[in-house]
Structure formats: C-alpha cells, structure tokens
Structure 1
Amino acid sequence: MPHAPQIKIPATYMRGGTSKGVFFSLKDLPEAAQVAGDVRDKILLRVIGSPDPYGKHTDGMGGATSSTSKSVILAKSEKADHDVDYLFGQVSIDKPFVDWSGNCGNLTAAVGSFAISNGLVAADRIPENGIAEVRIWQVNIQKTIVAHVPVTNGEVQETGDFELDGVTFPAAEVKVDFMDPADGEGAMFPTGNVVDELEVPGVGTFAATMINAGIPTVFVNAEDIGYNGTELQGDINENREALQTFETIRAYGAKRMGLIDNIEEAEARQHTPKIAFVSKPKSYSSSSGKQIEEGDIDLLVRALSMGKLHHAMMGTAAVAIACASAVPGTLVNLAAGGGERDSVTFGHPSGTLRVGAGAKQVNGQWTATKASMSRSARVLMEGNVRIPGDSI
C-alpha cells in the first residue's frame, strides 16, 4: 500500500530564555493550517513528535520536556501600533493535544528576533545599530509585550556576554516588558483576595495566592505542603505521588480561579494554571552545582509546568512572581519579607532571576502596570521541517 511522501514546511528552531521551540511564519504553513483548527494541531503534534508514549520525542523536534515541546506562529500584526502577532502552542508530550490557553514568556524573547529577521517588522523601525523595540501582540492572552532587541549593522545581535541561569552559554541580552500583564481589565486576583484558604480533598487546606498576571498561577507555601523550597527537579519529578499531589492542587486552584467548571477539565488544560511553591530565602546548591547563598536572593520559588518541576522558571510564571511580589500580603510578597517593593531576586533550581513589576490599587482592586525581565535568544537551526504527508 503506497504511503504519502513527506511534506516540508519552512521553520526556524530557536532558543528563547530557558525554552526552545519551532517557529513558523503563518504564511508558510499549509493553507488549511493558516487558521486555527484540527489540521494546524495535527501538524504541530507531528512536528514535535507527539503523542509519544515513550516520552522521548525521538521522532520529532521536541525535547520531551515542557520547556522544549513548544511551537510558535508569527505574522505581521493586524493590531494597531503593533509589529507582530504572536501565537503560542504548548504541545503535550504524551497526549494528542495542543494547549492554546496561555503564553510562553521565555520564547517571547525570541519573537522579536524572528520578527526582525523574517521581515515582519517595518524596516524604518529597525536601527542600523542600537535597540529595536518590537511591539508584540500576544494573541493567546490578548496582551502587549515589548521586546528590546539589540541590532548591529542592521541585523539582530545574538551573541554577547549576558548570562542567564538555566542556559549554558552567554548571549546578547533581550529586555522584555509585559504591559498590563494582569487578566481582563486589570483584575489580578480572580477570587478578590490576595490570599485564600484553598481546600484540596485528600491533600489538605492551606493558604494560597491565586493570581492571573503573565499566566494564571497558584502559589502555596513550601512548608505547608511538606517542602523547604530548595528542591531540585529530581526531588519532585522522580516521585509520582508528589507529582499527583501537585496536579490535584493545581486542578482545585483552577476551579477556584474560575478557569474550569469541573475538576476533570484540568487534564485537558495542562498549560494553565501553573502551580508553584514559595519559601523564605535559604542557601542551596543549584542543579549546575553553583552555590546560591541566602543573602543573594529575596525568596525561593519552585514551579511546575505540564506536570513536572521546571528546571529553571517559566517566563510567564516569573511575571506572576514579579506582580505578586509587588502586592503587600501575598504569599510571594511575604516570603520576600513583605512590604512595598518593585523588584525581587528569587532562587530557582538552576540559579537566580531578578524580575520587576509595578502594581497599584484602582477602585479597591490591585492592578499591574508592567512587569520586566531580561532574557536572551538565538537561532539554533533554520530551513524546513518535514512531516509525513498523511499526518494531516
């Protein structure tokens, strides 16, 4: 029986922050995949190599982790005063679905670079030498992001000496501003409270800060769930019972935040919300062996993505950390020492990260004006990806 030959699709494989993903220009996708739907999802699943019951992504471009099973679709923006429309798809590793419910903050750092290099930004907005401000419309969450991309001799500058914990080699610094990062009209706390008592059947009842800024995130205290905040990936990811506990907490947090109607819906919404635990600063050794001293950080944060403890920190979760730290009384703010602050440096499994945010009260509700962080990005490979023609 004859089989359909492979088809090729122009694509770029990029690192952004501590993530990697396959980037596409919308116009380069097969016509049927230029609109949202089953064909687009099937293509992205096959490109990444999902679903893979072996959990290896041997037959695809994915890296079998939440940080490396990502896809990005970019187009010239249809939004006024924006350069590029950015659509992000988190591809499940072992299930046949693509989650479109949130953003990837790490890959945002690569969006500006791709947009400039692929003609999605007007030439008169790109300096010959200097910093290009790429105005990004994040389609998933309907928010504006500004990436400050270094340019040398009219081309994106990718090499440099900026070091990012969780990334092996230095590169050029890309500053990213997440504008009005809270949900909807600026309401960051879906429950109306900066701290709630979250009841999780079979686990317990404990304090939780549930925030929607950057990405919906449920924060709990490490000590309340039996941890100290210095854990590395192996401490969590090799414990199936621990992973199930975190997933249960995440599901009940999602319901409390109004993101799902029934607990069962959480399984099909793995990308959001995130679940994270915080603690006051303590000294520890990072996954690379680098010693992090208590005095180097304001607090400790560990976060899970797609059911596993992240090796560093998701960019969107870092935005949530920044915004929560700026609001007095949240668990994040209290772990950092409380009070008013416009930035924090937190410890994660791979090292440290400094993030900043501004927050204020408007009509009795907290709102975030901007969150900022520095990342780096570079092209790893460009050309075409190939997938069997019968994949779609």
Structure 2
Amino acid sequence: MSVFCALSNSLVADVEGFKLPYAPWKRAYSSLRSIANPLPATFLRGGTSKGIFIKRADLPEDRSEWDRIFLGIMGSPDPEYGRQLNGMGGGVSSLSKICVVGPASDAQRADGVDVEYTFVQVGIRDSVLDYSGNCGNLSSMIGVFAMDEGICAASFVDRKSNAASVRSFNTNTKKRVDTTFPISTSHEGIVPDLEMEQVAMAGVPGKASQIVLEFVSPGGARTGRLLPTGRPKDALIFKVLGHPYSIPASLVDATNPTIFVASTDLRTILGVPSQSPIIDYSDDVVLEFLEAIRHEGARQMGLNPAAQAQPKIAILSHCMVEGKVSDADIAIHALSMGVLHKAVPMTVGLCLGVAAGIKGTLAQDIVSQGRAHKAAENPSLIRIRHPGGLVDVGADFNSNGTVKSAKVVRTGRRLMKGAVWW
C-alpha cells in the first residue's frame, strides 16, 4: 500500500519528520519526490575551497525546498562529530559549500550578464543554511562550470591570449563577478583549460591555469554602504562575562562585510604580554572575545549578529620577520564561522584590499607604516600574508571614492562530475 493511500483518511501526516495538514504535506512531498535522488552535480575546487555545483534546473522551483536537499548533500547537521561523514562536506567551512548556477534573466542579459548563481554556506554541526554572503573562492569557477554545462557561452574571447571571460551575477550580494581564464578548442568547441602550469597559490600544491576574478562595484554588498557606519574606524564596546571592553575596529562592506581589528589592540584587552605576541586563536577565551566583538560589529553594521557566516571578523598585524619588515604589506588571521581559517576567505582578502585603500582604516594605517620602510613592488596591489602563505589583491577606486572593482588571481580544478545522494 502506498504511503499516500495509507494516510488518505488521516487529517495529519507524520512522515520523515513532517507534521503538516495532509494536502500541503502531499504537495511538498510529491515535489521533492519529483527531484532526482541522486541529483546531477559537479564537485569543483575554486581557490582554497571545494564545493558542489548544481544546475538550477535540476532543483525544485520552490526555493523553500532547497534546504533539505542541501543539508542531505553535505551530511548536516552533525552535532556530535562535526565531520559530515554522511555527505560531501569535510567538517570545515571551506568544504561545506554549494553553488546553484542557472541562465541569466532577460534583464540581466541586457546588462551584459551571462549567468546567475546563488552561493550557500551549509552549517556543519547545525542545520543553518546561510544565503547572505558570497564565496570568492568558488566564484572563480562559476564561468568554467557554466561553459562546461552549456548554460552560457563566454561573453568575450581573446584569440591572441586564448582566454575567455564570463560575466556572472551573484544573487546573494546582487553584484556582478567576472572571471577570465584560459581556453582551448576541441571537437566540442571552446572549453575552459585548467591544466596549464601558469600560477601557484598559497594553500594549493602545484601550479594551474590563472583565473582572474574581478568583483565589479563590490562596495555595500550586504549593507548598501562601503562603510556601514560612515566612519573608517569605530570603537566597539562589548561585554565578556559581564565586564565591559572597548576595541577600535574598521567595519567595511566590500564583497562581504568584515570587521577588522588590530592584533596589538586585541592583545591589550586579552592581557597577552608584548614579549609574547602570538595569540592562540583556538583558545576558548580568545574565541569568546572575538565572537563578542563580531556581534557588536554586526549590530553597528545593521546585520544579524546571530548569523555565523556574516559578517566575518579578521585580525590585522604588521608583517615582521626577525624584527624586519617582510615582503608582505600586512598579515591577517580570519575566522570563518567561529574557526580560524587555514588560509583567508577570498572575500575577506578582497575586502582587506579595498579597506587598505580607504583613508583612516586600520588596514591603511598598517600598510602605510609598513611601506614607509620599503618600496612597494606594485603600489596598486596589496600583498597579504595569511596562515597559508601570500596573496596579492588589488582595488580600483573611482574619483568620488567609490570602489570600481576588486581583483585577485585564483586557480581551480575539476574534481568529479556525476550524481550526489541527498
């Protein structure tokens, strides 16, 4: 006997955790049952992240039905172990990501956009799915995936350099993100070529094809303002265990909103002696302080403090090697969903590149002081040192102070194409 027949005389259905009046439950369940399981999907590395890429046409039209599918794909929630062994997730935020990619709308195409995508940060120990921000690393592979799947063609092809550009629209931030990458010609036509040994990037072994990632007009991605408070620097007053503290911070919203604090100020409120400048970012007390700072910064930015994925918080410091200024302009330790990131989330790196070009921010103060002792190799780029190595980012500003674009070089790799169970 089918489940629907068995329940036909019931007023309420209680199946697979649903407790809804029968008719709405039947419609929702039928809709989900019409979606393939396993679901066509592609597993890709973009920068220092890996994620599942899915064509929008393979998902339900009703977006409220996406959450259950995405949690199943990633193996979340996993409250006891946090390893996501029942899914494709890897137990860390940089491996618990999904991109949904589809054709651009007629209006978007009229504006020169080729493809549209939505980024989803999937909770690990909980069932939280965050649609509020974007992922800079996985954004670098949107154009490649779109061309591979025939969702769009490249908007520009340079035959001299054998490179193509794809213009994408991110629905999370309502911003355009362009990618440029090498191409080759096969019997299938023009295809992205990711196997060239062009560049290396920190955190990824070997060399791969260069992907130039450009965020167009990235200011105000979430709040609508590059400086949500209107100031390059603010004093955040917060409490930990009932005791009040204050710390200077720069609240900047470019590509993704980020709270920047200086390591010297953090050491002061933590009571870390100057002769021991290393901060243990895995220490529970340190994490409690940083989360309290992040909550207050979120409030001042007009964002929800309870949302773990946005805004991010990052600690900035001078780059010193044996007492001398290093080849980098600034060092960063960034946290993602309460955990120290092993590299730097690319949207945070790009936000830092923008912040360094804004007079009065903590980032510009540190970069300016460091460059006072050395000549910059490329004044238009900021070299960032993070736990995984170095990365160069750049930002172009309009004459009125708005951000024209932010750029960074990434690499990517196709890992698997097939189907995923949810």
User: Quick one: which of 244, 259, 275 aligns to 1:218?
Assistant: 259
Superposed displacement of residue 186, structure 1: 6.7
Amino acid at match of 2:286: A
Cα pair 1:21 1:72 within 8 Å, conserved: yes
Cα pair 2:143 2:179 within 8 Å, conserved: yes
Superposed displacement of residue 242, structure 1: 1.7
Superposed displacement of residue 313, structure 1: 0.9
Report the Cα distance in structure 2 between the residues aligned to 1:327 and 1:131, rounded to whole angstroms: 32
Map Cα deviations across residues 170-197 of structure 1 (whole Å, 9 max, x no partner): 2111001111000169731010100111
Report the Cα distance in structure 1 between the residues aligned to 2:166 and 2:182, rounded to whole angstroms: 11
Give the alignment of 1:1-392 within 5 angstroms.
7-29=37-59, 31=60, 34-37=61-64, 39-53=65-79, 54-78=81-105, 79-80=108-109, 81-122=112-153, 125=156, 130-153=162-185, 154-161=190-197, 162-183=199-220, 187-202=225-240, 204-226=245-267, 235-237=280-282, 239-260=283-304, 266-267=305-306, 269-283=307-321, 294-337=325-368, 342-360=380-398, 362=400, 366-387=401-422
Question: Cα gap change, 1:369/1:126 in structure 2, threshold over 3 Å: closer, same or farther?
Answer: closer
Map Cα deviations across residues 284-340 of structure 1 (whole Å, 9 max, x no partner): 8xxxxxxxx842100111111111111101111111101001112210111112699
Report the Cα distance in structure 2 between the residues aligned to 1:163 and 1:62, rounded to whole angstroms: 25
Cα pair 2:114 2:155 within 8 Å, conserved: no
Secondary structure in 1 matching 2:88: coil
Question: Cα gap change, 1:356/1:347 in structure 2, threshold over 3 Å: closer, same or farther?
Answer: same
Question: Cα gap change, 1:115/1:7 in structure 2, threshold over 3 Å: closer, same or farther?
Answer: same
Cα pair 1:325 1:343 within 8 Å, conserved: no
Report the Cα distance in structure 2 between the residues aligned to 1:76 and 1:201, rounded to whole angstroms: 47
Question: Cα gap change, 1:142/1:12 in structure 2, threshold over 3 Å: closer, same or farther?
Answer: same
Superposed displacement of residue 123, structure 1: 6.5
Report the Cα distance in structure 2 between the residues aligned to 1:168 and 1:146, rounded to whole angstroms: 25
Unaligned runs of 5+ in 1: 261-265, 285-292, 388-392
Please, which moves more after superposition, 125-134 or 173-182? Answer: 125-134
Cα pair 2:258 2:312 within 8 Å, conserved: yes
Report the Cα distance in structure 1 between the residues aligned to 2:175 and 2:168, rounded to whole angstroms: 8
Superposed displacement of residue 360, structure 1: 4.6
Superposed displacement of residue 157, structure 1: 0.8
Question: Which residue in 1 is equivalent to 2:24?
Answer: none
Report the Cα distance in structure 2 between the residues aligned to 1:103 and 1:243, rounded to whole angstroms: 24
Cα pair 1:219 1:277 within 8 Å, conserved: yes
Report the Cα distance in structure 2 between the residues aligned to 1:10 and 1:182, rounded to whole angstroms: 35
Question: Which residue in 2 is equivalent to 1:263?
Answer: none
Amino acid at match of 1:371: A
Secondary structure in 1 matching 2:310: coil
The alignment yields a C-alpha RMSD, in angstroms, of: 2.6
Identity, % of aligned pairs?
34
Map Cα deviations across residues 336-371 of structure 1 (whole Å, 9 max, x no partner): 126995321011001111000023563xxx421110
Report the Cα distance in structure 2 between the residues aligned to 1:142 and 1:99, rounded to whole angstroms: 15
Question: Cα gap change, 1:187/1:7 in structure 2, threshold over 3 Å: closer, same or farther?
Answer: closer
Secondary structure in 2 matching 1:296: coil
Please, which moves more after superposition, 177-186 or 1-10? Answer: 1-10
Cα pair 1:186 1:367 within 8 Å, conserved: no
Unaligned runs of 5+ in 2: 4-14, 17-32
Cα pair 1:186 1:368 within 8 Å, conserved: no
Using the size of structure 2 for normalisation, the TM-score is: 0.81
Secondary structure in 1 matching 2:92: coil
Report the Cα distance in structure 2 between the residues aligned to 1:301 and 1:359, rounded to whole angstroms: 23
Report the Cα distance in structure 2 between the residues aligned to 1:119 and 1:350, rounded to whole angstroms: 35
Question: Comparing both chains, which one has the higher relative contact order based on Cα–Cα distances under 8 Å and sequence gaps of 6 or more?
Answer: 1
Using the size of structure 1 for normalisation, the TM-score is: 0.87
Report the Cα distance in structure 1 between the residues aligned to 2:62 and 2:385, rounded to whole angstroms: 40
Please, which moves more after superposition, 250-259 or 167-176? Answer: 167-176
Cα pair 1:326 1:343 within 8 Å, conserved: no
Map Cα deviations across residues 259-308 of structure 1 (whole Å, 9 max, x no partner): 13xxxxx23x1110000010111128xxxxxxxx8421001111111111
Q: Report which of the two structures shows the higher radius of gyration computed on alpha carbons.
A: 2
Report the Cα distance in structure 2 between the residues aligned to 1:230 and 1:147, rounded to whole angstroms: 39
